[in-house]
Structure 1
Amino acid sequence: MEKLLDVKNLHVSFDTYGGEVKAVRGVNFDVKKGETLAIVGESGSGKSVTTKALMHLIPKPPGRIKEGEILFEGRDLAKMSEKQMQKIRGKEISMIFQDPMTSLNPTMKVGNQIMEGLIKHQKMSKPQARKRVVELLELVGIPDAENRMKQYPHQFSGGMRQRVVVAIALACNPKLLIADEPTTALDVTIQAQILELMKDIQKKTDSATIFITHDLGVVANVADRVAVMYAGKIVEVGTVDDIFYNPQHPYTWGLLGSMPSLDSADEELFAIPGTPPDLLDPPKGDAFAARNKYAMKIDFEQEPPMFKVSDTHYAATWLLHEHAPKIEPPEAVKKRMEGMANSSSSSEGERV
């Protein structure tokens, strides 16, 4: 598949009174046309900063893209001016934010908020834009669209507001959709509906998606590939099967092991010890070493390169070095992998 987005050696920093916070430190990834890439990691790992940098949405100052390339269809977004980005933002790349109430203007009817992008980017007349708004609201599953478009955000439930935000993001048929934890503020039932809606819309529009989340359970249902971030770096990347059934980085083991499971009889959840490092002064070597019980001396001295596991799977851990001891994932992770394999095979049986 052809690459739509290719991010190379991206560095993003924030200049604070305490010094330079190196929030994103040499990130590399790509997104192909029509695929969904999930970026996962704890709060503060750099997920949202990375994607906001793609759209020039980090506050300047204190934020800045320090180094790197953001190639979108061959054009380097990192070198574009704000005026140039305004023609791309909303039209070619759209973003769905975490909280719909901060994304919507409480003083404007939702129909007018969706029409704004259509009139500006698609050069539609008001009657054309109104007709398209009705189609979009129906597409995202809002009934009685002609009447609902005349209402204000406070007249919608949380799930319906998020559907309106999805409609705004889709209004100009973007080639790339960035979803920044779009279901975090919603209850589990509505969360599942929004995720199903996004999958369905992606099939219909053939757009690519970057899905940011800290919830690996969400990833299994929506993504084609997964990039695991820690301390401003991508530490493992692969297909969903690579990450869930053959994880290689101890941090990925920790994320998988800490997932609650309805199938497990264990009362105790596996937890990653310690806290992420201070990116005002990033640690030498592997940033995860201090929290990694499998860390070796080299982890505290040298940063590991990305080792190739397969053509689709790479991980930055010295455990993959040919001279490293062979370490098995913890039992909690093995159980989680077995549970997911069992649920996957039973789902396949039901479909057959």
Structure 2
Amino acid sequence: MTAPILEVKNLKVNFNTYAGTVKAIRDISFDLQPGETLAIVGESGSGKSVTTKTLLGLNAENAIIPDSSQLIFKGQNMLDFKEKDWEKVRGNEIAMVFQDPMTALDPTMTIGKQIAEPILKHQKLSKAAVQKQVLDLMKGVGIPNAEAHVKDYPHQWSGGMRQRAVIAIALAADPEILIADEPTTALDVTIQAQILKMMKEQQRKDNTSIIFITHDLGVVAGVADRVAVMYAGKIVEYGKADEIFYNPRHPYTWGLLDSMPTTDTERGQLHSIPGTPPDLLQPPKGDAFANRNRYGLAIDHEKQPPFFKVSDSHYAATWLLDERAPKVEPPAPIVERWARWQKLQAQEG
């Protein structure tokens, strides 16, 4: 395996608030390979967006990151950066696609000017060369008849077209890492599929590494190479996309998958994970998922589980994988999905 383009080591992010210190990110580590898509999945409040903002140096002023944390990019720990250092990286080498294109775009500027901004900031090109690059980017993200629409304003475009413009802006400086924070949440499923396909095509063309943030494991199945599942500021399971989608081992991942509607879901049958995430002002000393885990053990309330190895690429932090734990059967839909996948693999093999 090639050297990672990004390594996140022992990342902790705390926020000082009037109510106390919120432990938003509680010691997470992961890496990102060149040309890879890593999906970070979890409920709202799990720490996904705080993680990505940290990768861009965009956390609020009340954020505290201990010296033991590291964000290694091109041999440098970005947590040592001054603002001028971040400005060289942000939007140029690491770019971001935000969730809501209407708030990400400036309503007073034309689409073309907004796409041109990062090009002008990071490259020395003639006006004609910039204009050509803007049109090429618009065409590359699937905007039809780009020449006729380069002077349009955001309010003139649909949600799907605006999201394409936001992606074009993010790609304008040819970044090595693209962070996509819930980029398709506000779009209907047809447009969502088009956007995801377009992002994968751009990735294949430029070998861009992508960090894809989502709460929807269904989206992950067709997009990600690897998946990290986050809960209460920690990564609780990670592995290849097929391993997480077809053979998940953490009860929280079971819950996320079981709550996904499918074509087999009947009216009134949609499942949810009971309870709510813990208060990160006072995180529990044991497994943060313990109070919501119907398969929970006594030790879950006393001690945080380590990562147990499922395969060379698949790990899960749950005491259910301890050799002393009772054998627990996952929910029926998880078992059925795993059986279908094994059958398919046997047929293809």
Same fold (TM over 0.5): yes
Mean Cα displacement is larger for which, 131-140 or 324-333? 324-333
- In the TM superposition, 1:36-47 aligns within 5 A as 36-47=37-48
- Write the distance in 1 (CA, Å) between the matches of 2:300 and 2:194: 42
Tell me the equivalent position of 2:244.
243
Mean Cα displacement is larger for which, 159-168 or 116-125? 116-125
Tell me the equivalent position of 1:9.
10
Tell me the equivalent position of 2:58.
57
- Write the distance in 2 (CA, Å) between the matches of 1:146 and 1:138: 9
Runs of 4+ in 1 over 3 A off after TM superposition: 264-267, 335-342
Q: Given the alignment of the two structures, is residue 168 of structure 1 paired with residue 172 of structure 2, yes or no? A: no
Tell me the equivalent position of 1:34.
35
Tell me the equivalent position of 1:216.
217
Report if aligned partners of 2:247, 2:334 keep a CA contact under 8 Å in 1. Answer: no
- The CA deviation at 1:333 is 2.5
- Write the distance in 2 (CA, Å) between the matches of 1:313 and 1:111: 44
Report if aligned partners of 2:97, 2:181 keep a CA contact under 8 Å in 1. Answer: yes
- The CA deviation at 1:337 is 4.1
Report if aligned partners of 1:179, 1:211 keep a CA contact under 8 Å in 2. Answer: yes
> 1:239-272: CA deviations, max 9, x gaps?
0111112111110111111111103457412221
Aligned-residue CA RMSD in angstroms?
A: 1.6
- In the TM superposition, 1:19-98 aligns within 5 A as 19-60=20-61, 62-67=62-67, 68-98=69-99
Report if aligned partners of 1:231, 1:276 keep a CA contact under 8 Å in 2. Answer: yes
Report if aligned partners of 1:53, 1:65 keep a CA contact under 8 Å in 2. Answer: no
- Write the distance in 1 (CA, Å) between the matches of 2:209 and 2:342: 27
Which letter does structure 2 place at the counterpart of 1:149? V
Tell me the equivalent position of 2:320.
319
Q: Given the alignment of the two structures, is residue 253 of structure 1 paired with residue 270 of structure 2, yes or no? A: no
- The CA deviation at 1:146 is 1.6
- Write the distance in 2 (CA, Å) between the matches of 1:21 and 1:159: 35
Tell me the equivalent position of 2:270.
269
Can you give the 5+ residue segments of structure 1 that lack an aligned partner in the other structure? none
3-state SS in 1 of match to 2:311: coil
- The CA deviation at 1:64 is 3.0
* TM-score, length of structure 2 as denominator length: 0.95
How many residue pairs get matched? 345
- Write the distance in 2 (CA, Å) between the matches of 1:310 and 1:38: 19
Which letter does structure 2 place at the counterpart of 1:327? V
Which letter does structure 2 place at the counterpart of 1:115? A
> 1:219-249: CA deviations, max 9, x gaps?
0010000000000000000001111121111
- Write the distance in 1 (CA, Å) between the matches of 2:338 and 2:198: 27
Mean Cα displacement is larger for which, 155-164 or 320-329? 320-329
- Write the distance in 2 (CA, Å) between the matches of 1:337 and 1:140: 35
Tell me the equivalent position of 2:113.
112
Which letter does structure 2 place at the counterpart of 1:160? M
Task: Return closer, same or farther for 1:58/1:224 CA change in 2, 3 Å cut-off.
Answer: same
3-state SS in 2 of match to 1:286: coil
- The CA deviation at 1:197 is 0.6
- The CA deviation at 1:56 is 0.7
Can you give the 5+ residue segments of structure 2 that lack an aligned partner in the other structure? none
Task: Return closer, same or farther for 1:266/1:321 CA change in 2, 3 Å cut-off.
Answer: farther
- In the TM superposition, 1:277-288 aligns within 5 A as 277-288=278-289
Tell me the equivalent position of 2:305.
304
Task: Return closer, same or farther for 1:334/1:269 CA change in 2, 3 Å cut-off.
Answer: farther
Mean Cα displacement is larger for which, 266-275 or 180-189? 266-275
Report if aligned partners of 1:33, 1:206 keep a CA contact under 8 Å in 2. Answer: yes
- Write the distance in 1 (CA, Å) between the matches of 2:232 and 2:165: 33
- Write the distance in 1 (CA, Å) between the matches of 2:265 and 2:337: 8
Identity %: 61
Mean Cα displacement is larger for which, 295-304 or 120-129? 120-129
- Write the distance in 1 (CA, Å) between the matches of 2:179 and 2:98: 8
Mean Cα displacement is larger for which, 153-162 or 119-128? 119-128
* TM-score, length of structure 1 as denominator length: 0.94
- The CA deviation at 1:338 is 4.8
- Write the distance in 2 (CA, Å) between the matches of 1:183 and 1:242: 24
Tell me the equivalent position of 2:293.
292
Which letter does structure 2 place at the counterpart of 1:65? I
3-state SS in 2 of match to 1:226: strand
Tell me the equivalent position of 2:101.
100
3-state SS in 2 of match to 1:159: helix
